[in-house]
Structure 1
Amino acid sequence: MKKIQDQEVRWGVLGVGNVCEVKSAPAMKHIPHSKLVAVMRRDEAKVKDYALRHDVPKWYTSAEELVHDPEVNAVYIATPPHMHLPLTRLVAAAGKPVYVEKPMARTYAECREMIAVCEEAGVPLYVAYYRRALPHFLKIKELMDSGAIGDIRTVHINLKQVLKPEVVVHLENNWRINPEIAGGGYFFDLASHQLDLLDFFFGPVTKASGFSSNQAKAYHAEDIVTGSFVFENGVLGSGNWCFTTSRTAEIDEITIYGSKGLIRFETFGKGEFTLESDQEDPIHYHVDLPKHIQQPLIKSIVEDLLGTGTCPSTGRTAARTNWVMGELVNKF
């Protein structure tokens, strides 16, 4: 697999929207042997403004020009999902490593094509499931692997959110609930993080089935999903996601049950979780999260590209999450 021959990773970013303000792209210049050298957005005024505010030396309104800039030797695709496959084709054809936002694509079939084009070009493919590298989730995995709650039996995801008024008012500008752009609704946007994290904890899901519906009919994507799944190590899981619930029902909780205790945590909250066991009082853990939330994962990508480390989130791991989501909503 072709990686980086130079001694530093020089990033170009396609699509500098909200995710690039704090979460991702700014971290690239705080990592050893990593630089952010070019950004691209179709809106000239917005990309110039981004480059000025973030001290990026080059900006483009053309994806092709950024990708073929000889100074750029790795590309981060930070666009909505409908552009992930065509832009991956473009970057891979230029022989440059690809880092793409999550969810990896709209469908499992698109994911498989992205993997194929990168493998054919001999370039690495990484996906922004950054929770695999966050310290509190690494601590949870360490505790489970050490037997802190015994043998893992089952895991349950419970995510309920209210339908915010601005979602309905600004429907045409919200790509996250446009299936043609996002592949689905908030389930694809948010549950993908949860399902990928469980893949990191327990390995691939081998069986999954579920039901989905558009109950509130506020937009054209599913707004409720329920399902169950089986991991290759024998752990059983279930999930219940609803994005049009009451405020009193709002919840973000994953509970992992073992033979000697449980671990409970939020996916989208602070770096906190609770361990409860049969042998002692509950233990509450708190870990400070980085300002740039993707920085630990991007650091692992830089190290992987330079041959000094390994990245835990690849095209192959991320594609598995798309497969599970497709099974749960019966969409392929």
Structure 2
Amino acid sequence: MKIAFYGSSLVSSYWNGAATYYRGILRALASHGYDITFYEPDAFDRQQHRDIDPPAYAKSVVYTATTDALNGVLAEAAQADIVIKASGVGVFDAELIEGITRHARPGALKIFWDVDAAATLDEMRGDASHPVLRALPDLDMVLTYGGGPPVVDAYTGFGAALCVPVYNALDPDTHHPVEPDARFACDLAFLGNRLPDREARVEEFFLRPASLLPERQFLIGGNGWESKAMPGNVRHRGHVYTAEHNAFNCTPKAVLNVARDSMANIGFSPATRVFEAAGAAACLITDAWEGIEQFLKPDTEVLVARDGQDVADHLAALTPERARAIGDAALARVLAEHTYSLRAEQVHRLWSEHLSAARDAA
């Protein structure tokens, strides 16, 4: 069964937080026999910062950000059994969502896969002509990588025939424990790009604890932070490639997850970093958001902080022994309940049931 998937990038994580998610879920879906083609534009310097070669589990098609190239790759949707447009491609988003409904053959499954549902829903609430809102009547389903009941209720309220969360997870072959790397040695590390709806929370949950604990060492990785004023005990690493994520997570005493404003507000939205860290058996400190216990048990598998003072208190009290125990418990939990293999089984069953029902109704 052929899948045509239109997304931001499969081969580059540069300014592309969904890369880990795409790779994990598509690799696992390929094991179910799906023939996957991933279409991504040459945009935002992603192709100049590739961090994997084109994978065996999906054909990677990179197209220039021109109308002619766009029309060419959209025409190929007619050959697929399942046609998917992901959110946040960054170029031609409106044309892509309209194009998949126009080019998909009769009987093909048409899906919008939202990797930032909170942001998309906010846009739709403020724009009655939003392209996703216009496309919903022609789509068979919406899949999201987070959001839980609030997102499901919002999408069905907008007219989606079906909305199902397919949460971030762990690919244990990619993210796993490794030996520490002195480049990432510190007491607390944070990895994430500088974004407007995350910056204030990074100031509170990362930079404030650094100020409160001047004797401790802090490390921040990700794009955009080089111009940010920071305490003297904070080092900046810049972009950290996927191949370095395991060492980045395994080396510090603890790593920090900070949700973007929209994700924290809507809840039930664990970032890929949560599962990357747990997969590396890192001791994770996360800002508080509704639904965390669905994924990791507070105080046993993760430390939860309401503000920067909580982060500082957790870090000050954290012994190496407790950090290891929390990391080991988190790894065991995600291996048992939160792998991309399990997520792919969920998606495969959903698609099989939907296509079977459609055939019976024909």
TM-score normalised by L of structure 1: 0.44
In terms of fraction of residues, the more helix-rich structure is 2
TM-score normalised by L of structure 2: 0.41
Greater relative CO (CA pairs within 8 A, separation 6+):
1
